[in-house]
Each structure stands twice: as C-alpha cells, then as structure tokens.
Copies of this chain bind each other. A is one copy, B any other.
Amino acid sequence: MTDSTDHHHEQVDTTVAERDDWARRRRKGIPTGENLLVIACMDERIPVEKALGLELGDAQIFRNAGGKVTDDVIRSAALTTNFFDTDEIIVINHTDCGMMSAANEDVREGLEAQVGDLDSATLDPSLPELSIGDADLLDWVKMTDDIDEACAAQVEYLRQSEFIPDDVTVSGYVYEVESGHLREPNGRIAEEISERQA
C-alpha cells in the first residue's frame, strides 16, 4: 500500500524517465548492461543471447558470414569501444559453418558466374574506393579450414588491432550446433568420451 502522503505522479514520473533513457540510450551515451560486444556468425541456428546467458539490452551483437574479423568488425568495434564504454569482446564461431562447406575454387567459380571479372568488381557500393589491392578475392571471402583454429585466430586479430584500446578483453568460444552448447576452442570432447581412457 502506497503511503497516502505520497503522490502517485512521482511513480509515474520515474517510469516515464526510465523509458526515456531506454529510447535515447545511444544519444545519452549509455553503454550496454555488460559493456560487451559479441562477434558471431550470421547462421540462422545461433541463439546468441541465449547461448551466452544474456538478456536483451546486455550486449551489442555484430554478426557476419563466418563470424570473421573484417574491416567492418574493426569499424564497429572501434566505435563502441572508443565512444560507448564497451570494454569486452566475445567471438563465437560454430560447428557446421557454411564457410567450411566448399573449397576455395568452387567459391571462386560460383562468384565469377554471378559477377564476371572479380578483379574489377565493386566490393562496397557505398564506398567504391575500397579495394584489396593485389590480394586474392578469396582472402577477402575468408573461408575456414578448422573451426577451432579459426576461433583462436579471430581473437588474435582483435587483440592486434590498433583501433581497439589495449584494456579491452577479448575471448572466443565455439558453439556446437549439434549440442546447442558453447565450448572452449579445441575443447571438443565427443571423440574422446566414446573410447576407453588411455
């Protein structure tokens, strides 16, 4: 029971102010609940917040093909770590990733069939000046050989980048689509526990 000497509009004012904070969160420079940015794959099977035990509002979530570090990851991470108090990055790669489903040459052939000459193609239609110089287009496509090695590598790329402050913590996990759980890179146990202990 509310104390009858209090007025209800004070409670309403508080609620209205909290909603205003939510709606103008970026404008007011309010960081995420966990000061956290997650980098994950765009695969439709990955429930990112649930896998990490997060609620809506807890973390910013960058997702692209493969959960790979690209210039767009660096751009996005640079903005949130330098302007919005984000101080932790978690990378999530996953088993059965589409980036492991084809050989480089098959990918090259498929893209050429669509684009024609890959060397002259515009990589970013909103920034035509962007180019990869003499690098192979497949280096830009970033296919994966081994998901555990790939996960460890993305963590290293982020730790190296000069756009990201040194005190930002970077970690990486592999999400197993077959079990619905996270593991440490190189922590896969299925093989091991099906055979007699050495």
Task: Name A's B-contacting residues (CB within 8 A).
Answer: 1-2, 4, 7-9, 11-12, 15-16, 19-20, 22-27, 29, 31-37, 42-45, 47, 52-54, 56-65, 68-76, 78-80, 82-85, 87-88, 90, 95-103, 107, 110-111, 113-116, 121-127, 129-135, 139-148, 153, 157-158, 160-165, 169, 171, 173-174, 176-184, 187-191, 193-197
Instruction: Given A12-B173, A98-B26, check contact A71 B72 (CB 8 Å).
Output: yes
Contact residue among B33, B65, B79 (Cβ-Cβ distance under 8 Å from A80): B65
9 contacts between A and B (CB under 8 A): A27-B101, A64-B64, A64-B75, A70-B127, A74-B125, A83-B110, A100-B196, A126-B153, A130-B135
What is the minimal beta-carbon distance from A87 to any residue of chain B, in angstroms? 8
Number of copies: 8
Q: What residues on B are CB-neighbors of A182 within 8 Å?
A: 12, 15-16
